[in-house]
Amino acid sequence: MNELTIELSAEDGKCLYEQIYEYIRKEIREGKLLQDEKLPSTRALASFLQVSRSTVELAYEQLLSEGYIEAIPYKGYFVCRMEELYHIEARAEEEEREKKRQDEKYEIDFSPNGIEMEYFPYGAWKRISKNTLIDDRKEMFALGSPQGDFELRSTIAKYLHGSRGVNCFPEQIIVGAGNDFLLMLLEKILGRHVKIGMEAKTYKRAYRIFNSFAYEIHPIRQDGAGIVVEELEKSGVSAVYVMPSHQFPTGNVMPIGRRTELLKWAYEKEERYIIEDDYDSEFRYKGKPIPSLQASDKMEKVIYIGTFSKAIAPAIRISFMVLPKRLLKYYKENLSFYSSTVSRIDQMILNEFIKDGYFERYLNKMRKVYKSKHDLLVGECRKMENLFELSGENAGLHVLLRSRKGKTEKELIESAAGCGIKVYGLSDGYITEEKEETNTVLLGYGGLSEEEIKRGMEQLKKAWSE
């Protein structure tokens, strides 16, 4: 082969070599140029395409460096063996395309994971970043404490005490690049073969993570107050994962009685621990803020995990874990050789952002923004009171609707999809083998504008009233 019919365009905004490179790359990826196939020589292709030889050489170099083609001396350029990768990629791409096609069907997506980034004080964040970098503190390029900078940990301890009633010393805090990493570290602290209890409907991501450990996961029955402690007791687990301030997906808040029962369970045996994931406790719209479970813990039994990904921005990969003192001791003696996963510059920026009051102001702003969206959504939901029972509406960024007419989750999702609206099934959160058929859907509103919420709810009313 010495001809590749590439349509080169001067107006494409891309230089010629890039266009050649991308064309060949696409041909290889799509399997149109096959393994071991010979490419035209640079001279031949250049003359064929009427471009300079160095343009073709540049394109080939790029393909070489990325491993798409190989050069065999005195023979020429050949397409590399890459079936396997091709399969992986092709499938991944196919899935992505499929997802996109699916998503395009939807005009409005009531995703419970959506968050609003419109009001983030980008300006302040940038200014602090700039100032942090201007200070000629070269130590910020040196490796810091494995637990995170002491200043940031002090700031977090203070913030947690003030806003969530968490009692801890900065020494007990480990700062890490996201909850997933902190759970991986916790695996090393708690040991490899832990029996862990989780509510039967829970946060799927945490379930997947525990599942990737050697943990034995026991789904525990839950009622309106949260995990049923007698069942927990019976299951024989030594650790339990809960979200007392706002359970996902049910939206329930664990009342004080159940909290006391749960703590009592943990107090009874030395090896028992409660993992409290306080993922979106910042947002509560009714009544007084509810303190964390950790705040009521008198015997160092609660491992508290929180994140700035939800309240600041998902790309800010900073989470934190508060360890009870016995676990802290184990960590310090056995695991503190694990280096910190958060860059010191980021730690300093976040520290300033909180200390200078931006974080609090931003949270206050967002509480108002989310409350306004929440009130709008809840108001619209109430108009369908004859059809649906509303719950989980006092906190967080989603509500639940249960059909009073016996419509199944599947039916509700499908009729919504028919009107271009995406809603989510409660059963997505099930970790039991058999998924109960539910009559409940989740509506998240964090990432939608008020206009979208209004429009979406109108469509849903139409879809569900028939």
DSSP three-state, residue 442: strand
- Per the listing, tokens 């059963």 go with 427
Least CB distance from residue 270 to a copy of itself, whole Å? Answer: 14
What residues does 219 pair with on adjacent strands? 198
Least CB distance from residue 355 to a copy of itself, whole Å? Answer: 13
Q: Would you count residue 329 as binding a copy of itself (CB under 8 A)?
A: yes
Q: Of 342 and 460, which CB lies nearer to a copy of itself in the complex structure?
A: 342
Token output for 171 = 């020494």
- CA distance linking residue 250 with residue 220, whole number of Å: 14
The amino acid that residue 83 corresponds to is E
- Per the listing, tokens 């099934």 go with 425
User: Which of these ranges, 218-226, 244-252, 280-288, 310-318, lies near a copy of itself under the rule CB under 8 A?
Assistant: 310-318
Q: Would you count residue 71 as binding a copy of itself (CB under 8 A)?
A: no
Least CB distance from residue 290 to a copy of itself, whole Å? Answer: 19
Q: Would you count residue 314 as binding a copy of itself (CB under 8 A)?
A: yes
Q: Which of residues 74-93 bind a copy of itself (CB under 8 A)?
A: 82, 84-85, 88-89, 92
Distances (CA, A) of 191 to 188, 213, 336, 434: 5, 10, 15, 29
User: Which of these ranges, 158-166, 222-230, 391-399, 457-465, lies near a copy of itself under the rule CB under 8 A?
Assistant: 158-166
- The reply to whether omega before 289 is within 30° of 0 (cis) is no
Q: Of 114 and 420, which CB lies nearer to a copy of itself in the complex structure?
A: 114
Q: What DSSP line would sit under 60-122, residue for residue?
A: HHHHHHTTSEEEETTTEEEEPP-HHHHHHHHHHHHHHHHHHHHHHT-SEE--TT----TT--H
Rg (CA), the chain: 27
Q: Would you count residue 332 as binding a copy of itself (CB under 8 A)?
A: yes
DSSP three-state, residue 450: helix
Q: Would you count residue 328 as binding a copy of itself (CB under 8 A)?
A: yes
DSSP three-state, residue 434: coil
Q: Which of residues 47-66 bind a copy of itself (CB under 8 A)?
A: 62, 64-66
Q: Would you count residue 340 as binding a copy of itself (CB under 8 A)?
A: yes
Q: Which residues contact 343 (CB under 8 A, 6 or more apart)?
A: none
Least CB distance from residue 194 to a copy of itself, whole Å? Answer: 13
Q: Which of 222, 268, 265, 218 is nearest to 243 (CA)?
A: 222
DSSP 341: S
Q: Of 127 and 402, which CB lies nearer to a copy of itself in the complex structure?
A: 127
**Pick from 325, 368, 383, 404: which binds a copy of itself (CB under 8 A)?**
325
Q: Would you count residue 251 as binding a copy of itself (CB under 8 A)?
A: no
**Pick from 105, 221, 234, 326: which binds a copy of itself (CB under 8 A)?**
326
Q: Which of 452, 438, 381, 412 is nearest to 110 (CA)?
A: 452
Q: Would you count residue 368 as binding a copy of itself (CB under 8 A)?
A: no
Q: Would you count residue 157 as binding a copy of itself (CB under 8 A)?
A: yes
User: Which of these ranges, 328-336, 374-382, 394-402, 427-435, lies near a copy of itself under the rule CB under 8 A?
Assistant: 328-336
Q: Which of residues 166-225 bind a copy of itself (CB under 8 A)?
A: 167-172, 177-181, 184, 188, 192, 205, 208-209, 212, 214
**Pick from 2, 3, 54, 67: which binds a copy of itself (CB under 8 A)?**
67
- CA distance linking residue 144 with residue 453, whole number of Å: 45
- CA distance linking residue 316 with residue 330, whole number of Å: 28
- CA distance linking residue 434 with residue 366, whole number of Å: 38
Q: Of 184 and 417, which CB lies nearer to a copy of itself in the complex structure?
A: 184
Q: Of 45 and 348, which CB lies nearer to a copy of itself in the complex structure?
A: 348
Least CB distance from residue 103 to a copy of itself, whole Å? Answer: 16
DSSP 40: P
Q: Of 125 and 388, which CB lies nearer to a copy of itself in the complex structure?
A: 125
- CA distance linking residue 285 with residue 399, whole number of Å: 12
- CA distance linking residue 70 with residue 441, whole number of Å: 53
Q: Are 406 and 297 in contact (CB under 8 A)?
A: no
Q: Of 182 and 416, which CB lies nearer to a copy of itself in the complex structure?
A: 182
Q: Which of residues 278-297 bind a copy of itself (CB under 8 A)?
A: none
Number of residues that bind a copy of itself (CB under 8 A): 75
Q: Of 75 and 192, which CB lies nearer to a copy of itself in the complex structure?
A: 192
Least CB distance from residue 404 to a copy of itself, whole Å? Answer: 35
Q: Which of residues 115-154 bind a copy of itself (CB under 8 A)?
A: 117, 120, 122, 125-126, 129-130, 133-134, 136, 138, 140-144, 154
